[in-house]
Amino acid sequence: MTKLRAVLLAALACALLTGGIALLGRTEKGLEWARVVPAGDCQCADGSEFAFWERRADPARVVLFLNGGGVCWDAKTCAFTGEHGESDFYDWSSRGVEPENRSGMFDVTRGDNPFANFSYLYVSSCTGDAHLGDVAQAYTPELTVQHRGYVNGTAALAYLAAHYPGATEVVVVGKTAGSVAAPIYGGLVADLLPKARVTVFGAQSGAWPDHPGFNADVLDARWGAYKAVPAWAVDGLTARDWGVPRFWIQAGRHNPELVLGRFDFAYDPHAASELAPWASGSTLDVITANETAIEAAGVRLHSYTAPGDDHGLFEFDKFYTIKVRSVRLVTWLDALVGDAPPVDVGP
């Protein structure tokens, strides 16, 4: 049995041994969410219960939504401070992170919503590791953080495979830190549902650098990501050769049928401040360099870059109003998930 299949089967066991399902309720916009509590090793950073949310609609078309929630990598940023499981740096429990019937892509009453009729699995991060970790990290004698984002995320992924086995279209949508791992999850979806057309749309992580220090000190030493993520050895590169931009390369090479797309604001202030220790040049410079490197490796990455220093996308009306060079973002997304992937759009 390969390491990848063993990991997925373990996740499947975690997903199927559900601790419970509860309805969040129906609102004026018609969304109904069910809270799914996996068993097994799934947990949040403080060891508390992890859960994800399901909106059941068309069983053939599914959005796997990897929410943001911040990241941490030392005793200061990973401390369990703040209220309701949220600190200034990351969400360390699942309290208060349930989906709401917001505007943006979660308003399923809009005719121009590309995902209006899709089923949703809404997976929030509560582990500070961008859905990538699998380690208990002791930052101080008093602070041990359960970086179990990959365990939690693959439990939701296995639930998707088990409950939507006939899915023909799956869109993995990653928000901010959630978009870091989106291409990996896209590749895993394609492995589990080989008959489905899989699209990956990652928003607002285009400026994460491929920096040896970040890769070694955070991805590996802090989060244990290299021991968790699938060992897709492509052209001699194993998991330990991956940095965040290379997640797109490895996923695209692992499965050339994946449709890969990303969105960024050109000068997102959160990306600039969060990644300052490892980045050089402006946010747009890093975004452009990353995309150039990905495509130079032979992987097509469809991109939409909006001007300005904005932040936030999916829960806001701007999801529908953003337009660059006469191309609306939702029109571009329609094409991305359709049969004619769009041309790149930039400021």
Q: What's the pLDDT tens digit per position in 178-215?
A: 999 999 999 999 999 999 999 999 999 988 888 888 88
DSSP string, 33-61: EEEEE--TT---TTS----EEEE--EEEE
Does residue 4 carry a pLDDT above 70? no
Structural contact between residues 93 and 48, judged by C-beta atoms closer than 8 angstroms: yes
Number of Cβ within a 10 Å radius of residue 241: 15
Nearest 10 degrees: Cα torsion 189, 191, 197, 201: 40
The residue ranges of every structural domain in the chain are 3-336
Give the chain's mean pLDDT. 87
C-alpha span between 321 and 271 (Å, rounded): 22
- Topology given in CATH for the domain delimited by 3-336: Rossmann fold (3.40.50)
C-alpha span between 306 and 219 (Å, rounded): 28
Does residue 86 carry a pLDDT above 60? yes
Q: State residue 24's pLDDT score.
A: 41
Strands (E), the chain: 20-26, 32-37, 52-55, 58-66, 118-123, 135-140, 143-147, 169-175, 197-203, 259-265, 302-306, 323-324, 327-328
Buried b (16+ CB within 10 A) or exposed e, 9-45: ebbbebbeeeeeeeebeeeeeebebebbbbebbbbbb
pLDDT exceeding 70 applies to what percent of the chain? 86
| Interval 9-34: pLDDT, tens | 444 544 444 444 444 433 334 458 89
| Interval 296-322: pLDDT, tens | 999 999 999 999 999 999 999 999 999
Does residue 237 carry a pLDDT above 80? no
Model confidence band, residue 3 (pLDDT cutoffs 50, 70, 90): very low
Model confidence band, residue 234 (pLDDT cutoffs 50, 70, 90): low
Model confidence band, residue 241 (pLDDT cutoffs 50, 70, 90): low
Does residue 55 carry a pLDDT above 60? yes
Q: What is the pTM of this model?
A: 0.91
Q: Which among 93, 71, 72 is positioned nearest to 84, based on CA atoms?
A: 93
Does residue 129 carry a pLDDT above 70? yes
